[in-house]
Structure 1
Amino acid sequence: MISRKLQDLPSQSLPREKLIRQGRHSLSNAELLAIFLRMGIKGKNVLDMSSDLIQAAGSLDALAHMEATEITEICKGIGMAKASTLCAAFELGARALRETLARRPLNTPEDIYDYLTTAMRWKDKETVLVLLLDAQCRLIKPVEISTGTLNESIAHPRDILRPAIIHNAYGFILAHNHPSGNPAPSQADDTLTGRIRESAKLLGVRFLDHIIIGKPTATVQRNYYSYNSYGMKKPV
């Protein structure tokens, strides 16, 4: 951790100057955060504060999914203005990533997970989404169906199928998160998947997959469950 005052450092080592001279990829996570935080507090320069903030959150990824109020609670010296700036920066990055991924075909469970993970894996309640796809499996639009409790979502087959019919989608992918982090399906998940499969078949709508989003672990970065990968019948 850097303990010297920033003014004691060579100018080329200061985060903003380093970014200008060497490019953004040359900066550490703490240095990038320091540019947004701008100033430290008495007895702690902004680089120290940035390092402490990442450590307090547990990881940069965890910090990126915190709300402004949560950030102010874990690091002394960060007020609502700075916390809001960080939240806005992280959200812009997440939206840019989703925009890029949305232009690519969602052909595999990995593609679907990559698109959904920034928005879903840190939610503290189960949220049900439908991804509407065209004939090339490109995203038409995501539709949020419902938000439930800590361990139960509320969704009815008619609500899940309605957006696909309204938007004349080629097919759809059902997705929801498990706030516990474990993506293993519950009996309720199995029952809902079966009902959706039968309803979609009757209506002639292609039900392509049901993805459950978990949280990464030390050994599994892409932590999800795909019904299609585990033997769900092929869509009609």
Structure 2
Amino acid sequence: MREHVETNPQGTVIRDLPAEERPYEKCERHGPGALTNAELLAVLLRTGARGESSTDLAGRILRSTSPQGILGLLHLTMPELMEIRGVGRVKAIELLCACELSKRIWHTLAASQVREFTSPEQIAGFYMEEMRHLEQEELHVLMLNNKHALIRDVCLFRGTVNLSVASPREVFLEALRNRAVDIALIHNHPSGDPMPSGADKEFTHRIREAGEMIGIRLIDHLIIGDQNYFSFSEWGILQ
């Protein structure tokens, strides 16, 4: 097997570490589950910074996200990553892509495990890990068939979601295009507080009334916070 050799300008070589401390060899012998968070990150980084190995650099990156640790990576932007010594453009892109891949894997897994969306808990669970880490607001429409099975999930707005001026037209164009029977609205509050604003309530009622006119029912509007959510149906606001 070709030996992986990692160097930096100061001459630090990963093969100089004891075999049990080399993440590549450790993964090969014991599997990726045996690696620490820093070692997993080191494998993605491949090379370290001046005077340190990739494992040292990985540990420093994780410490920079304290107290969140590895979850903090999901909140870092490309400029913020590049502010960390030893992280350039390429490493920042690699880390961003790794985080995006992990979110997509989780979202796909969550979708495969939910056959029917029949409760706010199921809808919140489907979106929680994807949306609770977002630094900006997103508005999603969950489209369901007559058995409450998923047809499609669409992100309609991203950035500053001003629901006070948002039009129901975009929502129902997507719903009609996908032949949805029922829909649910989902958006996040980056502050972590899921309590609805007046604009949130007004928009929800406009969507409900428009849906009644064309025969597409709004079953819920969920606001995702940090490990919590607000459901309009649970609070009886849709009735």
The TM tier, using the shorter chain, reads: 0.7 to 0.9
1:145–1:155 CA contact under 8 A, matched in 2: no
Structure 1: segments with no counterpart, 5+ residues: 216-221
**2:23–2:42 contact (8 Å) kept in structure 1:** yes
* 1:167 corresponding residue in structure 2: 178
Distance 1:19 1:109, change over 3 A: farther
Letter in 2 for 1:167: N
1:197 has 2:205 as partner = no
User: Cα 1:191–1:17, aligned 2, differ >3 Å: closer, same or farther?
Assistant: same
**Which AA in structure 2 matches 1:87?**
L
Amino acid at match of 1:231: G
Range with bigger deviation, 107-116 or 51-60: 107-116
Give the root-mean-square deviation of aligned CA atoms: 2.2
Alpha-carbon contact 1:126-1:152 (below 8 Å) kept: no
Which residue does the alignment assign to 1:158?
169
Tell me what 2:105 maps to: 96
**SS of alignment partner, residue 73 of structure 2:** helix
The TM-score normalised by the length of structure 1 is 0.84
CA contact (8 A) 1:175 1:213 kept: yes
Q: Equivalent residues in 2 for 1:62-211 (5 A)?
A: 62-73=72-83, 75-103=84-112, 104-105=114-115, 106-149=117-160, 152-153=162-163, 154-211=165-222
Where structure 2 has 5 or more consecutive residues not aligned to the other structure, the ranges are 1-11
- Deviation of 1:144 after TM superposition, in Å, equals 2.2
Counterpart CA distance in 2 for 1:21 and 1:107 is: 44
Structure 2 Cα separation of the partners of residues 57 and 171 of structure 1: 40
Distance (whole Å) between structure 2 residues aligned to residue 210 and residue 233 of structure 1? 9
- State the alpha-carbon separation in 1 of the partners of residues 22 and 135 from structure 2: 37
Give the distance between the partners of 1:158 and 1:181, measured in 2 at CA.
Answer: 28
**SS of equivalent to 2:143:** strand
Aligned AA (2:235):
Y
- Paired residue type of 1:227: F
**Which residue of the partner structure matches residue 229 of structure 2?**
224
C-alpha offsets along residues 42-81 of structure 1, whole Å, 9 cap, x if unaligned? 33222221111112123211213433332112x2011111
- C-alpha contact (below 8 Å) 2:50/2:86 kept by paired residues: no
Alignment deviations for residues 96-148 of structure 1 (CA, whole Å, 9 cap, x no partner):
11112222233333332333234433333322111111233332112222235
| Separation of aligned partners in 2, 1:15 and 1:135 | 50
- Among the aligned pairs, what percent are the same residue? 36
Larger radius of gyration: 2
Q: How does 1:35-50 map to 2 (within 5 A)?
A: 35-50=43-58
Asked if structure 1 preserves the Cα contact closer than 8 Å seen for 2:220 and 2:238, the reply is: no
